[in-house]
């Protein structure tokens, strides 16, 4: 049976309009700094309260990552669910626990947790005060590919739940199919053996050429196996600044402590400065030059940075090669902007307190 297209115009005109609408919507929803009071946690069917900093479930849709805030009252245990995307948690207030595929992880403010894709999980609060944490996930990226799936199991015990999706083991052979089986089996084995938790007390910040001191929170360099998301924390000295740079892709920066401003512009000069304070989320995208400045002359500022480095930025760099997609100024300009972090009297790394 013959079939014919019913499109009333050429694919050229259809795609041109589609691309124009997409970029118009993207620009219309762009945000630079989302205030913590704008991410209002509201009650959910899971038993927790959830607020949206950035994401399609609020009024700030994105393409690769989202950023939510979660609150658990004393005595609350959420329902069990799982999803096809990874999530990274940064705990900002109180204490609580999360159970991942039946394994309990206790956390306090300042700790970081990785929730792997397809892992059943629920959260709880056995303490006397409200527990608060942020989640950063790759749900928008999976949604773009039509692969975002969420399954809620209510209050069913973990022992009654199906395991993560099965995969076939490797197979001997020199053919492409055997090679694929071995490669994907090794990848899944590694992902399912990755770390789940970073305790704040384990952190050691180190000085960098950008004028800050920094450390990984969740990253493959320290044993995590996420689908491209990475999370680190950096600290800016009193009255100091991180050196300027730019890159494509979305990056979220959550202000753990302190106050300051971020420069964003199409050029290293002539852009705008956007003030921020504790609890705010700084949104960096559009391949803008940016620099984060601590405007407090006495106290340091601590910022948690999250972006899709492995699965997005590296792919974009390969596809656009030889176009340079990560840029810094020459070293003499970088060093002048940042200053020497060794000259800063860094404070003790105390756990964050909310509010």
The whole-chain average pLDDT of the chain stands at 92
Q: Is residue 14 assigned to a domain? A: no
Q: Is residue 264 assigned to a domain? A: yes
Q: Is residue 289 assigned to a domain? A: yes
pLDDT computed for residue 30 by the predictor: 78
Q: Where do we find the tokens 């949206």?
A: 52
Which residues form the domain of 131? 33-191
Same domain? For 218 and 267 the reply is: yes
Q: Which of 132, 165, 191 is the last residue of a domain?
A: 191
Same domain? For 205 and 235 the reply is: yes
How many CB atoms are closer than 10 A to CB 36?
Answer: 20
pLDDT computed for residue 5 by the predictor: 54
**Pick from 12-26, 104-118, 188-202, 248-262: least confident:** 12-26
Total number of domains constituting the chain: 2
What is d(CA 217, CA 200) in angstroms, rounded to the nearest whole number?
9
Q: Which of 166, 191, 216 is the last residue of a domain?
A: 191
pLDDT computed for residue 4 by the predictor: 58
> Average pLDDT in the 152-169 region?
95
Q: Where do we find the tokens 């041109």?
A: 16
Same domain? For 145 and 60 the reply is: yes
Angle CA 131–134–136, to nearest 5? 155
CATH code (residue 163): 2.60.120.10
Same domain? For 53 and 171 the reply is: yes
Same domain? For 154 and 277 the reply is: no
Same domain? For 334 and 226 the reply is: yes
Same domain? For 37 and 184 the reply is: yes
- For the chain, the distance separating the N- and C-terminal CA atoms, rounded to the nearest angstrom, is 67
pLDDT in tens, 5-30: 555 678 888 888 988 888 888 777 77
pLDDT computed for residue 28 by the predictor: 79
Q: Quickly state the pLDDT bin for 2 (edges 50, 70, 90).
A: low
Q: Is residue 17 assigned to a domain? A: no
> Average pLDDT in the 322-344 region?
89
Q: Which of 191, 226, 260 is the last residue of a domain?
A: 191
Write down the pTM of the prediction: 0.92
pLDDT computed for residue 259 by the predictor: 97
Burial 315-339 (b: 16+ CB within 10 A, else e): ebbeeeeeeebeebbeeeebeebbe
What is d(CA 218, CA 68) in angstroms, rounded to the nearest whole number?
17
Q: Is residue 51 assigned to a domain? A: yes
Same domain? For 185 and 203 the reply is: no
Same domain? For 41 and 179 the reply is: yes
Q: Is residue 219 assigned to a domain? A: yes
């Amino acid at each position: 049976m013959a079939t014919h297209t019913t499109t009333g115009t050429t694919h050229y005109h259809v795609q041109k309009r589609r691309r124009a609408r997409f970029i118009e919507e993207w620009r219309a929803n762009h945000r630079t700094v989302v205030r913590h009071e704008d991410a209002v946690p509201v009650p959910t069917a899971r038993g927790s309260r959830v607020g949206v900093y950035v994401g399609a479930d609020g009024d700030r849709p994105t393409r690769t990552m989202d950023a939510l805030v979660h609150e658990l009252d004393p005595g609350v245990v959420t329902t069990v669910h799982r999803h096809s995307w990874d999530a990274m948690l940064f705990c900002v207030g109180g204490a609580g626990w999360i159970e991942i595929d039946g394994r309990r992880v206790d956390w306090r403010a300042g700790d970081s947790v990785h929730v792997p894709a397809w892992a059943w999980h629920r959260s709880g609060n056995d303490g006397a005060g409200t527990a608060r944490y942020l989640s950063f996930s790759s749900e928008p990226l999976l949604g773009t590919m039509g692969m975002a799936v969420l399954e809620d199991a209510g209050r069913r015990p973990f022992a009654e739940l199906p395991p993560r999706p099965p995969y076939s083991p490797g197979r001997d052979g020199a053919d492409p199919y055997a090679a694929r089986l071995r490669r994907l089996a090794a990848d899944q084995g590694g992902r399912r053996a990755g770390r789940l938790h970073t305790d704040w007390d384990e952190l050691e910040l180190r000085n960098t050429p950008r004028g800050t001191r920094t450390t990984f929170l969740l990253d493959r360099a320290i044993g995590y196996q996420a689908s491209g998301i990475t999370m680190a924390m950096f600290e800016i000295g009193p009255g100091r600044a991180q050196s300027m740079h730019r890159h494509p892709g979305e990056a979220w920066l959550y202000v753990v402590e302190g106050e300051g401003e971020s420069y964003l512009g199409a050029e290293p000069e002539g852009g705008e400065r956007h003030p921020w304070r504790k609890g705010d989320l700084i949104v960096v995208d559009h391949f803008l030059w940016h620099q984060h400045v601590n405007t407090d002359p006495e106290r340091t500022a601590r910022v948690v940075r999250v972006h899709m480095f492995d699965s997005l930025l590296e792919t974009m760099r390969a596809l656009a090669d030889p176009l340079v997609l990560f840029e810094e100024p020459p070293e003499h300009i970088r060093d002048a902007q940042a200053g020497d972090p060794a000259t800063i009297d860094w404070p003790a790394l105390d756990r964050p307190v909310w509010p």
